[in-house]
Chains A and B, each alone.
Chain A
Amino acid sequence: MNLSVDIGGLRLKNPVVTASGTFAYGVEYAEFLDLNQIGAITVKGLSTRPSKGNRPGRVWETPCGMLNAIGLQNIGIDAFIKDKLPELKKYDTKIIANFYGDTIEEYAEAAAALSAADGIHALEMNISCPNKQAGWLAFGTDPALTQKVVAAARGATKLPLIVKLSPNVTSIADMARAAVDGGADALSVVNTITGMAIDIESRRPRLSNIVGGLSGPAIRPIALRMVYEAARAVKVPVIGMGGIMTGADAIEFMLAGASAIAVGTVNFVNPAAAVEILEGIKQYMAGHSIDDINSLVGGMIC
């Protein structure tokens, strides 16, 4: 059975990736599952300087999902490379460093700093976090700006560059094309969907940031549709994510066009989910006599 997939030059032994922000810096999960079994680990979104994130009132559960407004709190690229990477790179898995900047220059700077470290296999560029300030939104929603910021990061790294798209757009296909025109080797689809919740007793927003990102099974059909549209619009591979809880969900994303899948929120409710989802994928393949996982990609029959 072949489970290995190629994501824009990044070869994974299997298509299961952990999603940024839901798996800390990877090493924290070693007590819960065998990290060697995961295709790739995407670490929490990193910036050139450490970031404190948003004020408390950061998570809230909604039907079959959760809102978060962490605000990209992270230890910074230097601390990641010094304190987390040496331990993480001992595992037989691929390491994807997710990063962001507040300006085009910072994106390029972050990409360069991460590329200089030994042990990072690919970069994932976050241009789509719903918890950042208004101006920042444009990187993930204005195709011309998307292309420009991706090109800047492209120029700063030789590692495979994955661009993570925002679902908070009218045409995901346009955004996918813009990212590829800027030099993306692969796409991650999708980040969280902007949402909010209000406490009707106090009339206050549940999140200090008022709005936050919705994730979990609640967004799965939307994410699936966006993976389908993005994968059709471009030739580069797509990592599909959004509400995947089981192997069956993962297969659905691959049939829609994803070459690999990422698991996010499910890590919070089942920290061993990544390996269980891999098992589920294998069972499906065995049950349907599928020898090569790649034959499933885009295999929906219309």
Chain B
Amino acid sequence: MNRFFSADIIRNFQSQESRNFILEVRPHAALGSALPGQFFMLKQAGAVDPLLMRPFSLADFIPPNENNPNGSLMFVIHAIGRGTNILRRLPKGTLLTVIGPVGAGFPPVSEGETLIIVAGGIGIASVFGLIFKYPGVPLFYGVRTKELMIDSGLLNYPQDKLHIASDDGSVGDEGSVLDLLERYLERDGAIHSGGRLKIYACGPHSMYKAMAKMALDADVYVSLETPMACGVGTCLGCAVETVGGLQMVCKDGPVFNLKDILLDG
């Protein structure tokens, strides 16, 4: 399968309240299938500002249909710096170049294992793939405030499985989503006594640090972000320190076992 292809924007949906947007692109070639946690490198074709491609997790893949013979890719993006703000303003029809899917995604969950998903902020974008693959698993989602919440993929989510927290209490519980998780595990600890508990998380570095301190009795996998140049393991730019030495986030990750990564520094 070709991992380098062009695509055009078919939808660039802006949220009124926040700097989040949904980008839907139509690849001009057939794609390899992407696992949850894998990602794509995107940029406007030929542009030198920004020069480098930007990494984004695949939020959803819409299968081939009449209009889009290769299906379409959906990305949920928070405009944070120069590159994402330029991307946010690109109109429908803009030609992009794309590399992907790249990276190693979240490991598959086996029979008898229990999965819990934790998302902090825009980290929700990286776990949509998991949510669609394992519908109805407990989802812990923390945001700073209501406006930043991305609810489009969550409208039909079983309410008793959805645990939301916000820093200012404007949506869900006030406080850290990890407090919700901790209370849940104390209360409902019995539900996973049968099989191994797996916690898959995507969020800021500070969230992973806090999780590392929680001494969770689970296999915790987290998705890391570092600046990248190539996205395919060749520039050696996206290194992270792990117990086994340096590894490349774009190729060995972005998903790592929390106990393997050295979080300080």
Contact = CB atoms under 8 A, between A and B. Distances in A.
B260 to A, nearest CB: 15
B249 to A, nearest CB: 9
Nearest to A73: B236
A118 interface: no
Interface residues of A, number: 33
B234 A270 contact: no
Contact of B52 (A22, A29, A61, A73): A61
B99 interface: yes
B49 A68 contact: no
B195 interface: no
Nearest to B249: A56
Contact of A58 (B51, B83, B236, B245): B236
A217 interface: yes
A58 B48 CA distance: 20
Contacts, number: 89
Interface string B219-245: 000000011111111111111110001
Contacts of B4: 31-32, 271-272
Nearest to B45: A270
B51 A60 contact: no
Contacts of A65: 51
A271 B238 CA distance: 17
A26 to B, nearest CB: 10
A55 B265 contact: yes
A66 B229 contact: yes
A58 B234 CA distance: 13
B237 A68 contact: yes
A24 B51 contact: no
Nearest to B50: A61
A253 interface: no
A80 to B, nearest CB: 14
Q: Is the interface of B mostly helix, strand, loop or mixed?
A: loop
B265 A64 contact: no
Given A31-B3, A65-B51, A271 B99 contact: yes
Contacts of B227: 59-61
Nearest to B245: A52
Contacts of B233: 24, 28
A59 B239 CA distance: 9
B51 A59 contact: no
Nearest to A245: B48
Contacts of A64: 48-49, 51
A70 B83 CA distance: 23
B226 A56 contact: yes
Interface in B126-147: none
Interface in B184-213: none
A23 interface: yes
A259 interface: no
A265 interface: yes
B52 A58 contact: no
Nearest to A70: B236
Contacts of B232: 28, 271
A200 to B, nearest CB: 13
Given A55-B241, A58-B238, A64-B49, 17 more contacts: A21-B235, A28-B233, A52-B245, A53-B236, A56-B239, A58-B236, A59-B238, A60-B227, A66-B229, A73-B239, A265-B229, A268-B231, A268-B234, A269-B43, A270-B97, A271-B230, A271-B232
